[in-house]
Structure 1
Amino acid sequence: MSTSPNQPLLGRRILLGISGGIAAYKTPDLVRRLKDYGADVRCVLTQGGQAFITPLTLQAVSGNPVHHDLLDPAAEAAMGHIELAKWAELVFIAPASANTLAQLAHGHASDLLSTLCLATAAPVAVAPAMNQQMWAHAAVQANCDLLRQRGVNVVTPASGAQACGDVGAGRMPEPLELREVICSLLLPQNRELAGKHIVVTAGPTREAIDPVRYLSNHSSGKMGFALAAAAQAMGAQVTLIAGPVNLATPTGVTRVDVVSAEQMHTAAMQAVDNADVFIGCAAVADYRPEQVADSKIKKSNDGMQITLVRNPDILADVAARTKAPFTIGFAAETNNVAHYAQDKLARKKLNMIAANDVSDSSIGFNSDDNAMILFWRDMNNTVQQQALARASKSTIAQQILQQAAKLLSNNQ
């Protein structure tokens, strides 16, 4: 089946199951995001799901009738549930309630969705969403373990504030994140990085002024997390060194949380001891306050002076190692992007650099899309470049890693 860079799921048949939970409000957006990628989406609602989202809404965004009744006489005249089970290339349940997880784990066929999961030969994946205490319950975890043993992909819930007022794990990931999970399940996986250890830094750093205030920047960490997820999907062992961001850890990735540039430097130097590739995607603060106040600085004068000192240069220090990994840098610029990127490539002795124009808000900090220009030196020491057109950060991450894999292969 042919695809295009802008519609990688063109024509793929996804059966989206929606069970009871407040996270069901996200499903129309998920359907729309999947349609943007070219997918054919059909929705199945449980009785609980219908309490949170209507069939009419899902029909409007999917363009297909919505199914919810196991014993619908019109549909069952043609064995509708069996035909639907055969139609699907992937059954993806989001949100998957605790009750739905129990039904699947114990082979129940008490409603249309659970029956479809027994009747389909397609892979099944679930995105659990529930109260943090319910998610932590031993019975729920046992059901998830049983589903994993049977080959069901269980998407790790995100952590954060919940509709009930609690804070903790149990939130359904956002639609864009779920779309990338679906892509990883349906699209052929490139294993060019199998056996490689890749270290990625992501997000901003925070440089303390006092116990309350800090210096930082607008980096969301999305690009670095997309690179970590893409590298893991390509077969690599991935260590993700993350500054303070509110993003879920990609499946299968080892995460190290840090706050300051010095902490990130220490973590990076330790991680690259046995790394094949280092990707410095983090927006590391160039400077930090020379002195950090022990208590909150009170407002007393019209002005305040803070003396800044230079932070360690993580990228340059990694590239300067005796047995340096293949080192990839990032250049987030607001003008003269190509000039500054090539200067950084040479000055820091990098193997490759990815440059983008963060003055464009549609591809800058906090956006879901990006556009890049890659620069590297060929065997004749001539600078080469490749433009990556605007696409999702996950797509851009895959393209960056594909080029890195080619260069790694040439260097072996």
Structure 2
Amino acid sequence: MADHAILAGKRVLLVVAGGIAAYKSLDLIRRLRERGATVRAVLTEAGARFVTPLSVQALTEDTVYRDLWSLTDESEMGHIRLSREADLLVVAPATANLLARMAAGMADDLAATVLLATDKPVLVAPAMNVRMWQHAATQANMALLESRGVRRVGPNEGVMACNEYGPGRMAEPMEIVDAIAAIFAEDAHLPLAGRHAVVTSGPTHEPIDPVRYIANRSSGKQGHAIAAALAKLGAAVTLVSGPTRLPDPPGCSVVHIETAREMLAACEAALPADIAVCAAAVADWRVDGPSDRKLKKDGGGPPALALTENPDILATLSRPGERRPALVVGFAAETGDVLAYATAKRARKCCDWIVANDVSPGTGTFGGSDNTVHLIRADGVESWPTMPKDAVAARLAEVVAGYFAGK
């Protein structure tokens, strides 16, 4: 049994979906509050057919949220704020329908929307008929959600309300309490728990016309791996990603952008943060006044493209001020004199660290699976051996955790 003392002061957002097991959610609320947790509830339309909003409100002593389109609720408590003010989201019961909508990334009611908008851990307690649970679609949906970092407790075996026997019964309230406490205990031992990291990744695309753009060969593999590694150590990670072919890393809140200006805006919107890792290969220049129509060959030679400089994201995030992250890490992709250029870049941008690598033709760094980097800090240079990008990311995340352990 997990240590329940860790639940004191924790904020749980409970999503109650429409299943006969919803009656257990009332006892779950009571058990959590007995242990010092605060519980706020979202009740689906179907869930309200099994337990009344009044019952849930009486036990939580808080507003019960039901309608995505409620203007009163949106003015006082928007769905984004609702999803992020909790320390953990718990779905109990988690019906086959809600699991399917979660897997598909739908946002067609308040419950699905808060689950899609959250950057906090999610625990589901499945509850459904045995055949529904064993159906290939449900199993695939659950596997996909777990691959994205969603935790699960149950289901248990037993007699169903429909008199069938097998797996599908929702876990008992105290089992769910144990699972919640275990998640908080696990996070409490993660070195970056409670830290917020902003990571940039991939290329940017700067439009020339509606068809063409200026870009580079960055795959985003290193930046995405760093985001995943920081999340694995407990950080709440906002990944700002340019166009890549990579899936969103599990456990991260991802903002997809195309241009450098959009990337800067997304980074600034994500502040405050403890950590910023600027791994994206941002285009230095953009076309000044891209055409709103496709440029055509007209026999007069190629068009003259007037370029203007893009905003410097690393220098902007490194600028002194209250919103500057405590640790700002930049990347320097060079094709010659790697250490000299990267060292000068660290001083010029005013960032704390620079991760430098050689992206010369033949190294295979852009688009490849391996990387050879040098970590440049004020106290010197640390050269790492060639290793897979996931290993580079894990090692960098450990160094970041060590930096904050000394604070």
1:374 equivalent to 2:372? Answer no
Alignment-derived partner of residue 255 in structure 2:
256
Q: Give CA deviations for 1:144-168 in whole Å, capped at 9, x if unaligned.
A: 779953479xxxxxxxxxxxxxxxx
Query: Which segment is superposed worse, 359-368 or 138-147?
Result: 138-147
Alignment-derived partner of residue 194 in structure 2:
195
- 1:217 CA displacement: 0.2
User: What is the CA–CA distance in structure 1 between the aligned matches of 2:201 and 2:284, rounded to whole Å?
Assistant: 15
Alignment-derived partner of residue 232 in structure 1:
231
- Write the letter of the residue equivalent to 1:391: M
Alignment-derived partner of residue 287 in structure 2:
289
- 1:229 CA displacement: 0.6
User: What is the CA–CA distance in structure 1 between the aligned matches of 2:371 and 2:303, rounded to whole Å?
Assistant: 37
Q: Give CA deviations for 1:38-77 in whole Å, capped at 9, x if unaligned.
A: xxxxxxxxxxxxxxxxxxxxxxxxxxxxxxxxxxxxxxxx
TM-score (structure 2 length as normaliser): 0.55
Alignment-derived partner of residue 394 in structure 1:
390
User: What is the CA–CA distance in structure 1 between the aligned matches of 2:384 and 2:290, rounded to whole Å?
Assistant: 41
Cα distance change of structure 1 residues 281 and 293 upon mapping to structure 2, 3 Å threshold: same
Alignment-derived partner of residue 354 in structure 1:
355
Structure 1: which 5+ runs fail to align?
A: 1-104, 109-113, 115-133, 153-188, 378-382
1:150-189 equivalences under 5 Å are 150=153
Q: Is the 8 A contact 2:197 2:276 kept in 1?
A: yes
Question: Taking every aligned residue pair, what percent have the same amino acid on both sides?
Answer: 38
Cα distance change of structure 1 residues 149 and 260 upon mapping to structure 2, 3 Å threshold: same
Q: Give CA deviations for 1:224-246 in whole Å, capped at 9, x if unaligned.
A: 00001100111110000000011
Alignment-derived partner of residue 183 in structure 2:
none
Aligned structure 1 segments of 4 or more residues deviating by more than 6 angstroms: 105-108, 142-147
SS in 1 for 2:329: strand
1:266-305 equivalences under 5 Å are 266-272=265-271, 274-300=272-298, 301-305=300-304
User: What is the CA–CA distance in structure 2 between the aligned matches of 1:353 and 1:143, rounded to whole Å?
Assistant: 37
Q: Give CA deviations for 1:335-362 in whole Å, capped at 9, x if unaligned.
A: 0000011001111111111000001534
- 1:192 CA displacement: 1.8
SS in 2 for 1:356: strand
User: What is the CA–CA distance in structure 1 between the aligned matches of 2:348 and 2:251, rounded to whole Å?
Assistant: 34
Alignment-derived partner of residue 218 in structure 1:
217
Q: Is the 8 A contact 2:355 2:376 kept in 1?
A: yes
- Write the letter of the residue equivalent to 2:319: A
Cα distance change of structure 1 residues 206 and 258 upon mapping to structure 2, 3 Å threshold: same
User: What is the CA–CA distance in structure 1 between the aligned matches of 2:346 and 2:359, rounded to whole Å?
Assistant: 18
Cα distance change of structure 1 residues 145 and 245 upon mapping to structure 2, 3 Å threshold: closer
TM-score (structure 1 length as normaliser): 0.54
Structure 2: which 5+ runs fail to align?
A: 1-127, 156-187
User: What is the CA–CA distance in structure 2 between the aligned matches of 1:140 and 1:376, rounded to whole Å?
Assistant: 45
Cα distance change of structure 1 residues 142 and 219 upon mapping to structure 2, 3 Å threshold: closer
For the aligned residue pairs, the C-alpha RMSD in angstroms reads: 2.9
Count of equivalent residues: 240
Alignment-derived partner of residue 203 in structure 2:
204
Q: Give CA deviations for 1:190-230 in whole Å, capped at 9, x if unaligned.
A: 82211110000000000000001100000000000000110
1:110-149 equivalences under 5 Å are 141=141, 149=152
User: What is the CA–CA distance in structure 2 between the aligned matches of 1:151 and 1:360, rounded to whole Å?
Assistant: 51
SS in 2 for 1:344: helix
User: What is the CA–CA distance in structure 1 between the aligned matches of 2:275 and 2:211, rounded to whole Å?
Assistant: 36
- 1:140 CA displacement: 5.3
- 1:401 CA displacement: 1.8
Q: Is the 8 A contact 1:357 1:363 kept in 2?
A: no
Q: Give CA deviations for 1:71-130 in whole Å, capped at 9, x if unaligned.
A: xxxxxxxxxxxxxxxxxxxxxxxxxxxxxxxxxx9989xxxxx9xxxxxxxxxxxxxxxx
Q: Is the 8 A contact 1:203 1:219 kept in 2?
A: yes
SS in 2 for 1:292: coil
Q: Is the 8 A contact 2:191 2:405 kept in 1?
A: no
1:339 equivalent to 2:335? Answer no
